Amino acid sequence: MTPTHHANPIPNILTGLRLIAGVVMFLILAGAAPQGLPLLSDYLSPDDQFRFGRTAFVIFVVAASTDWVDGFLARRWHSTTRWGAILDPIADKVLITGAILGVLAWGSVPQAAIPCGLILFREFAVSALRETVAGKVKLPVTLLAKWKTTLQMLALGALQLALVPLWEGFGLPLEWLPQFQTFAYVLLWIAAIVTLWTGWQYFSKAQQKMSQL
């Protein structure tokens, strides 16, 4: 009798931790914003804002890195599961959404509002599309869509670093900040454009498959 194969739970645990990290990072980042939380923000010194921002930044970087690690381990250990396939994109969206809302709460990077909004609109639209066509057509994740997530995380990490308290707290030259913020905005727009393009691909593919039913 062949023994039952039990998938290694570590990849799914990492995915679950990434989901939790997205929520925690948002609460810390938004809470440290100038008007993030009533009463609390009035008592935060610049040093306090740096400590909050640094903690959120570290959580984001570590959580974002697990997006590659959990998938690599699942494939290497032959531990891919249906639950992991469901949880992975949810964890990614929670982390991305938390980073966007946390950064926008600061209000110091207004140029990021439009590309961030476009990213959020696309993510919600594709999620709604997948739910609508579930059981009718399959929309597998494309390679470009995987790179899209990587671009989003790189851009949002740069955007967090571009916040003035975080930039100054790390002792980086203040005269370089405008150039770095421009770099972060350009990277964010590239991520937004790729995000919209992959969204159009999904809708186009869904329309094509639905017309064949």
What the block records as the tokens of 21 is: 């990290």
Residue with tokens 């039913």: 213
Task: Check residue 22 and give its pLDDT.
Answer: 94
Calpha distance 31→95 (Å, rounded): 16
Give the pLDDT mean for 98-115: 88
Stronger pLDDT, 196 or 71, i.e. the higher one: 196
With 0-12 / 13-18 / 19 or more C-beta atoms within 10 angstroms meaning exposed / middle / buried, residue 90 is: middle
* Amino acid letter for position 130: R
Q: Which range is most confident: 8-22, 27-41, 81-95? A: 8-22
Q: What is the pTM of this model?
A: 0.87
Give the pLDDT mean for 143-150: 88
Task: Check residue 18 and give its pLDDT.
Answer: 94
Q: How far is CA 111 from CA 22, 49, 50, in A?
A: 23, 21, 22
Rg (CA), the chain: 19
CB atoms within 10 A of CB 11: 25
- CA 45 from chain centre, in angstroms, equals 28
| pLDDT band, very low/low/confident/very high, at 3 (cuts 50, 70, 90) | very low
